[in-house]
Amino acid sequence: MLRANRLLIPFLIVAGVALGQSESPTQGKDLTQKDLNRLWDDLAGADAVKAYQAIWSLADVGPQAIRFFEEHLPPAAAADPKKVERLIKDLYSDGFGIRDKANKELEKLGELADPALERALGSNPPLEVKKRLEKLLRRQLLPTSDPKRLRSIRSVEALEHIRTPEAQKLLQKLARGAPAAWLTQDARETLKRLSKRPTDQMEPAVKRQSRNDSHGNSLPAGAIARLGKPRTKAFGYIIAQIAFCNAGTL
pLDDT digits (tens, 9 = 90+) for 97-116: 999 999 999 998 988 999 99
Which helix or strand (DSSP H or E) is residue 102 part of?
Answer: helix 96-109
Give the model's confidence band at 231: pLDDT under 50 very low, under 70 low, under 90 confident, else very high: very low
Residue 73 and residue 78: Cα distance in Å, rounded? 15
pLDDT number for residue 216: 58
Query: Which has more pLDDT, 133 or 222?
Result: 133
Beta strand 237-238 pairing with 233-234: antiparallel
- What are the residues whose beta carbons fall under 8 Å from the beta carbon of 129, sequence distance 6 or more? 91, 92, 120
Q: Count the alpha carbons within 13 Å of 52 in the hemisphere toward its beta carbon.
A: 22
| 204 to 151, 185, 208: CA distances (angstroms) | 22, 23, 7
Segment 41-67, tens digit of pLDDT = 999 998 989 999 999 999 999 999 999
Segment 151-166, tens digit of pLDDT = 999 999 999 999 999 9
* Residues comprising the chain, all counted: 250
Segment 61-98, tens digit of pLDDT = 999 999 999 999 999 999 999 999 999 999 999 999 99
Residue 72 and residue 95: Cα distance in Å, rounded? 40
Residue 4 and residue 153: Cα distance in Å, rounded? 12
Which alpha helices (DSSP H) does 110-227 contain, by range? Answer: 114-121, 127-139, 147-162, 165-174, 182-195
Please give the average per-residue pLDDT across 212-220, as a whole number.
59
Tell me which DSSP letter residue 196 carries: T
- pTM value is 0.66
- Select from 7, 56, 8 the least CA-distant residue to 31: 56
Mean pLDDT of the chain: 78
pLDDT number for residue 148: 87
Identify the structural domains of the chain with CATH numbers, from first to last. 9-72+148-207 (no CATH), 81-139 (1.25.10)
